[in-house]
Every structure is written in C-alpha cells, then in structure tokens.
C-alpha cells in the first residue's frame, strides 16, 4: 500500500493516473476545481484564449472567476482598459467577477467559499499558495497555462517533494503569527525549500485562527517553496460551516514519504522584521529599533484581514500617528471592511490619523505605488515583498500589524511591550 | 508523439549553467519575431557565438547542467524552435525554462550523468521514449534518461500547450 503526503493526496483525487505515477518530480495532469485571473495577467489570458480558441466557450463558466484586485482604483488608463476587458469577456461567457473593492482574490476564495479544502485552484498570483493554510492546493500560473486551463479545466503539475516542519513551543503577545511567519521564512530559506512543499505541524497549529494560518503560509513563496500546508482540521471545518459548507478533512498518511523533517523551536519567540533588500533578510526587531519610518501600510494577503487591523487598533487606541508618518490601511476584503466598521476599529484608526483605501492588494503587487512615497520615504508594510523599486523607491521593511501600529505612533521602528486589552 | 523514438544528429553545447542572457541577451528583449530571434541565439555565449548563423535544423541539442537558468524570457525557447531543434538533452534545466519549453512544444530530456555519455558532433542519436534511453548509434553507447512524463509527451505531440487546448 502506497502512502502519500497531503499534496500527493490532493493530486490523487484530481487526476486519472494510477497511484504508481504519483511520486515527487513526476509531472501529471490535474483537473482544476477553479481557474481565476485578475487585472494583472487576466487581460493577456483573455487575449490568448480569444486568439487560440476562436469562438470557444470556457470549460465551465461556473468554475472560472475574475478577481481584479491588483490596481484597486484602475488608477491609470491602461489598468482601467484592462479591467474593462475582463468585464466584457466575463459578461459574454457568464463568468463571475469580484469587481474592484471586493478584495484580494485569494482571500475571497475562502471567505466566500468559492474554494474548499482538497481543491486544486490556479490563478495569476504568486501568493495563491496561501490557500495551503486551508488545505487547498493553490498555485500561481502564467498566461499560457491559464489560457489553456480556461479552455480545458486542466493544468499540469510537477509533484514537489514535501518537507515536514514541526513547530515546537508557544509564544505570547505582542509576538503574532507574522513574527512566526518571518521566523519560519528565515529558517526555511536557510534550510532550502526551493521547489518543495511544506506541511506544518505542532501544538501551536491548534491555536492559530484561519487568518493566522494564512499569514504563516504566505511567506513560503519568499523562500522559493511551492506551498505550505496546514492540513484541514476542526478549526477549518468550523470556519467553513459558518458559511454553510461541509468539508472533508484530508490529511497526509502517517507514513507519507517526506524528503526531510525539520523541527523549529518557537518557544518564547520574539518579534521579527524583514529588512531591505529581501523578504528573507529577517532580523530580530531589537536590531533595527529606532529606524525612522515615513510611510506605513497595513494590508496585503499576508496581513490585511480584520483580525490584523484589530491588532493594530488595540495599539492605536487613544494615540495619534506621528506627524512624520503617513499611515494607510488597505483591508483585504469587503468583509474585513465591514467587520472593522462594526467593531469600532475603523473609527479608532481614523481618529488616530490613519487613512483607509479600497479593499484589494496593497503595495506588494505594485498597484498602489503612491502609498509608499518617494525616494526619501522609508516604508514599513505588513505585506510579503520588500523589493526596492517595486514596492517603493526607498528601503522597505516588513513586520506585523502590531509593530506597524507601534511604529506609526513613534515615527520609528518600535515594539510594543504592553497594550491595553479592549 | 505517435512515434516512440526520435532520431537526429547531435549538436554539442556542453556548458553548465547557461543562463537566459547567454542564450538571448536582455538588450534584445523587444524582439519577438522568431526569425529575428534566431540569429541571436547563444550570441552571448563564449565559443558558440556563431550558432545563430549555423544550420542545425532537425538536430538534438546536448547541453550541461542547469540549462536555461535565469529569467522567464520566452525568446530563449522560441529561438531554438526557429532553428528547428528537435529536442534538448541536458543534465538538468531551470524550472521556468522547462515549463516555457514544454508549453511551447520543445521537448527537453533530463539525463543524470550526461557528461559520462560519449558523443561527438553530428553523431546519430536516438531517444527511445518508451524505454527512457538515449542511444548513440555511432558507437553503441546508451544512457538512461528521466522518464518523460505523459503530459509532456501530450503537449509536445500537439505542438505546444495552447495547441493541445484546441483538441481537448
């Protein structure tokens, strides 16, 4: 009897090949549960589809969604035209569009139940692997693969080897899932997971919410990994049951063939920050405390949820943003926007001097360059990329919403020691 | 691929870690026409700069380790298709290069230990797909290649991923 990793099991349920064909480095066809594209690459996918498959329908219009999220305001004529192309094509083919202001596509997939554990989904987003946090095999794909998938409902995948990562220990506030994610990125980048998948285990996993798991899995791309999985469990099942979806808790076999096993000690983990010029240049926050910051952004698929914004609001309550800082908040989805409106976090942040922008991607995908500022503006974001020249012309740091809020008050990188719980 | 073997003459460019800049330099990225890309192939690779002007139609290209590492540029694949190269055999390929090639209909064959394989320029090679073997018909040498996965064969047979989509 052959045994399988979680990724192998997901593939096994979505392919015609026999079990003997499911092994690392082999390439197999998979049937896709969902194909998506957004305003980045989506228009090119449509062009390729129309040029190559003249007069064709998509494989199944119910299994395709366009999720424009990169350029939330269509803030130049080119992007506005691209977004219009998506709307026209979608209307013609009866395809759902989560239009501007709905939020980041990858988040909408789980928040609105478009995708569930065990599914295989592809989209034009290199962070589609955050869906691994819910046991979904999400992958970024290029124009050609997406155009083919739109027509056939299939794609090919090279089955990656899987590293079993055990997180040992626990941490306390103000350390958050972002610090965990940054620490894990630093360790996995050093360890080497290029082209590999990861499965996360450890007692801490039972304490992490879906939002925190998404944060943990969101930096695997920055370590050149394929995907990080948190196998679906009761927390995942409860999350889906709230939106009326019953899930299957797919897990790896006990004796699955892992390429290696890595134990990471996270007991009393401190706070971490990614310094310029790479996301994996992760340091203990103490090493950069006091660095002046001019522009702060809370948002992205890594840390743009209402839970993340709530973390920041707890710190900001009753405080004013430093006058040398511009502080922007980009909620991940409309649902997050509603939550922070209902629980009062939005008012707290507005009163402190923060500014809200429409739900969607924030700085990572280049679509909101203006949030970061000019050559003299050093930025701190809660996102996943700090590539100079893409996110902003000057240095960019990546940290948790807690650190972002404390830094916004101080005007320089700061770590909160205590906070008034509310 | 109805035929289970590919037979063609060998063209040797056995250099490790050839990156996409050495295959097709970044200063030429505005060129997209295959016929215009063709003369520039290996234009930046010492010892092989005349490749672009040679006639290697139908040949199998032999390369070293980690061929095509670097950028995602499609021209680094298109150029070999324009030259009429039948397949590329190498120790290993950059992951993006691999998918770009396969999706464009250019067969890449991975052969661990390719440097041990005795082959001269223009030797007659045979790729036996069923048995995962490379055979040098001039000296009888054989070497095992990594099994070519079925999706790759499906795509190559159709002439590329988008072409395959027409019949799926």
The tens digit of pLDDT for each residue in B85-115 reads 999 999 999 988 999 999 999 999 999 999 9
> Which residues on chain B are in Cβ contact (under 8 Å) with A156?
149, 151-152, 155
Domains in chain A: boundaries: 6-158, 162-265, 273-410
Predicted pLDDT at A71: 84
Which of B 80-99 lie inside 8 A of A, CB atoms? Answer: 95, 99
Interface test with A, best of B93, B96, B149, B167 (most A CBs within 10 A): B149
pLDDT digits 0-9 by tens, A397-418: 999 999 999 999 999 999 987 5
Judge whether residue A7 has pLDDT over 70: yes
Judge whether residue A422 has pLDDT over 50: no
Question: Which domains, and CATH codes, for chain B?
Answer: 5-167 (3.20.19.10)
CATH of domain A6-158: 3.30.499.10
Judge whether residue A122 has pLDDT over 60: yes
Judged by CB atoms closer than 8 Å, whether chains meet at A195 and B95 is answered as yes
Predicted pLDDT at A1: 58
**C-alpha pair distances (Å), A298 with each of A129, A346, B1:** 21, 13, 52
Predicted pLDDT at B26: 87
Instruction: Write out B88-113 in H/E/C secondary structure.
Output: EEECCECHHHHHHHHHHCCEEEECCC
Interface test with A, best of B161, B163, B164 (most A CBs within 10 A): B161
Helix-helix angle A345-352:A306-316, to 10 degrees: 50
Predicted pLDDT at A420: 43
CA–CA distance, B141 with B121 (Å, rounded to integer): 15
List CB contacts of A380: < 8 A, sequence separation 6 or more.
Answer: A293, A295, A296, A297, A396, A397, A398, A399, A403, A404, A407, A413
CA–CA distance, A398 with A383 (Å, rounded to integer): 6
Predicted pLDDT at A74: 64
Judge whether residue A368 has pLDDT over 80: no
Name the pTM for this structure. 0.93
Map tokens 């599914």 to a residue.
A119
CA–CA distance, A400 with A271 (Å, rounded to integer): 8
**Which residue, among A293, A304, A290, A322, has the nearest Cα to A401 in the 3D structure?**
A304
Q: Would you place residue B3 in the very low, low, confident or very high pLDDT band (cuts 50, 70, 90)?
A: low
Predicted pLDDT at A418: 54
Asked if residue A104 lies in contact with residue A332, where contact means CB atoms within 8 angstroms, the answer is yes
Q: Would you place residue B136 in the very low, low, confident or very high pLDDT band (cuts 50, 70, 90)?
A: very high
Judge whether residue B2 has pLDDT over 90: no
Q: How many CB pairs under 8 A join A and B?
A: 49
CA angle A117, A120, A122 (to 5 degrees): 125
* φ, ψ for residue A283, nearest 5 deg: -130, 160
Q: Would you place residue A73 in the very low, low, confident or very high pLDDT band (cuts 50, 70, 90)?
A: confident
Q: Would you place residue A77 in the very low, low, confident or very high pLDDT band (cuts 50, 70, 90)?
A: confident
pLDDT digits 0-9 by tens, A222-277: 999 999 999 999 999 999 999 999 999 999 999 999 999 999 999 999 999 999 99
Asked if residue A399 lies in contact with residue A380, where contact means CB atoms within 8 angstroms, the answer is yes
What rounded mean pLDDT belongs to chain B? Answer: 94
Strand partners, A123: A140
ipTM for the predicted complex: 0.90
CA–CA distance, A365 with A126 (Å, rounded to integer): 10
pLDDT digits 0-9 by tens, A321-344: 999 999 999 999 999 999 999 999
Judge whether residue A371 has pLDDT over 90: no
Residue B58 backbone zone (phi > 0: left; psi -120 to 50: alpha; other: beta): left
Judge whether residue A78 has pLDDT over 90: no
What is the percent of chain A where pLDDT is above 70? 97
Judge whether residue A124 has pLDDT over 80: yes
CATH of domain A162-265: 3.40.1060.10
Strand order in the sheet with A295-298: A282-284, A272-274, A396-398, A379-381, A295-298, A326-329, A355-356
A317: which 2 tokens?
A: 């309550």
Strand partners, B136: B125
Judge whether residue B81 has pLDDT over 90: yes
Q: Which of A82-96, A124-138, B19-33 has the lowest mean pLDDT?
A: B19-33
Helix-helix angle B95-104:B150-158, to 10 degrees: 50
Residue of B nearest to A15 (CA): B151
Judged by CB atoms closer than 8 Å, whether chains meet at B161 and A145 is answered as yes
- For residue A54, the SS3 value is coil
Contact of B152 with chain A, judged by CB distance below 8 Å, is answered with: yes
**Which residue, among A30, A27, A31, A42, has the nearest Cα to A90 in the 3D structure?**
A42
Asked if residue A109 lies in contact with residue A74, where contact means CB atoms within 8 angstroms, the answer is no
CA–CA distance, A311 with A314 (Å, rounded to integer): 5
pLDDT digits 0-9 by tens, B44-76: 999 999 999 999 999 999 999 999 988 888 899
Whether A6-158 shares its CATH topology with A273-410 is answered: yes
**C-alpha pair distances (Å), A104 with each of A38, A182, A267, A364:** 9, 21, 33, 12
CA–CA distance, A259 with A67 (Å, rounded to integer): 35
Asked if residue A231 lies in contact with residue A252, where contact means CB atoms within 8 angstroms, the answer is yes
- For residue B118, the SS3 value is coil
- Name which CATH class applies to A273-410: alpha beta
| Average pLDDT rounded to a whole number, residues A162-190 | 97
Judge whether residue A421 has pLDDT over 50: no
Residue of B nearest to A51 (CA): B162
* Least CB–CB distance from B151: residue in A28, A52, A151: A28
């Amino acid at each position: 009897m052959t045994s399988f990793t979680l990724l192998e099991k997901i593939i096994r349920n979505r392919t015609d090949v026999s079990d003997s064909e499911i092994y690392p480095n082999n390439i197999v066809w998979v049937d896709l549960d969902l194909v998506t594209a957004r305003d980045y690459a989506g228009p090119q996918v449509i062009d390729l589809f129309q040029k190559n498959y003249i007069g064709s329908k998509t494989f199944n219009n119910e299994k395709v969604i366009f999720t424009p999220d990169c350029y939330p305001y269509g803030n130049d004529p080119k992007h506005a035209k691209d977004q219009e192309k998506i709307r026209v094509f979608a209307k013609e083919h009866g395809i759902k569009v989560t239009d501007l202001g709905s939020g980041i596509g990858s988040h909408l997939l789980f928040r609105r139940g478009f995708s569930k554990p065990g599914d295989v989904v592809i989209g034009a987003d290199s962070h589609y692997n955050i869906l691994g946090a819910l046991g979904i095999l999400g992958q970024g794909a290029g124009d050609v693969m997406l155009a083919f998938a739109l027509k056939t409902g299939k794609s090919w995948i090279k089955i990656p080897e899987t590293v079993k990562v055990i997180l040992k220990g626990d941490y306390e506030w103000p350390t958050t899932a972002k610090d965990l994610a940054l620490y894990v990125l630093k360790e996995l980048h050093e360890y080497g997971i290029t082209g590999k998948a990861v499965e996360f285990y450890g007692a801490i996993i039972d304490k992490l919410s879906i939002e925190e798991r998404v944060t943990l899995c969101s930096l695997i791309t920055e370590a050149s990994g394929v995907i990080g999985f948190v196998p679906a469990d009761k927390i995942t099942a409860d999350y889906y049951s709230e939106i009326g979806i019953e899930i299957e808790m797919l897990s790896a076999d006990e004796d699955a063939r892992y390429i290696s096993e890595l134990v990471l000690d996270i007991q009393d983990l401190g706070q971490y920050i990614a310094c310029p010029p790479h996301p994996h240049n992760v340091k203990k926050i103490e090493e950069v405390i006091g660095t002046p910051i001019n522009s702060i952004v809370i948002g992205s698929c890594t840390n743009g949820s209402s839970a993340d914004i709530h973390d920041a609001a707890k710190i900001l309550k009753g405080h004013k943003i430093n006058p040398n800082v511009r502080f922007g908040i980009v909620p991940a989805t409309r649902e997050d926007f509603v939550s922070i409106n209902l629980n009062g976090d939005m008012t707290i942040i507005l009163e402190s001097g923060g500014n809200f922008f429409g739900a969607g991607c924030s700085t990572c995908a280049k679509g909101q360059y203006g949030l970061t500022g000019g050559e003299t503006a050093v930025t701190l974001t809660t996102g996943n990329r700090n590539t100079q020249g893409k996110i902003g012309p000057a240095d960019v740091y990546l940290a948790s919403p807690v650190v972002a809020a404390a830094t916004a008050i101080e005007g320089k990188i700061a770590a909160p020691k205590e906070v008034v719980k509310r | 691929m109805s035929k289970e073997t590919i037979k063609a003459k060998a063209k040797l460019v056995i250099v490790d870690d050839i990156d996409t800049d050495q295959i097709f330099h970044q200063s030429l990225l505005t060129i997209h026409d295959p016929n215009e890309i063709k003369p520039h192939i290996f234009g930046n690779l010492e010892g092989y700069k005349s490749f672009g002007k040679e006639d290697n139609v139908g040949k199998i290209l032999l390369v070293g380790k980690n061929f095509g590492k670097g950028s995602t540029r499609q021209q680094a694949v298109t150029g070999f298709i324009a030259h009429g190269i039948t397949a590329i055999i190498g120790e290993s390929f950059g992951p993006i290069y691999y998918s770009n090639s396969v999706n464009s209909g250019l067969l890449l064959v991975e052969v661990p230990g390719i440097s041990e394989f005795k082959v001269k320029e223009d030797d007659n090679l045979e790729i036996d797909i069923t048995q995962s073997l490379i055979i040098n018909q001039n000296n009888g040498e054989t070497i095992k290649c990594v099994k070519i996965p079925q999706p790759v064969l499906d795509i190559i047979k159709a002439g590329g991923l988008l072409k395959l989509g027409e019949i799926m």
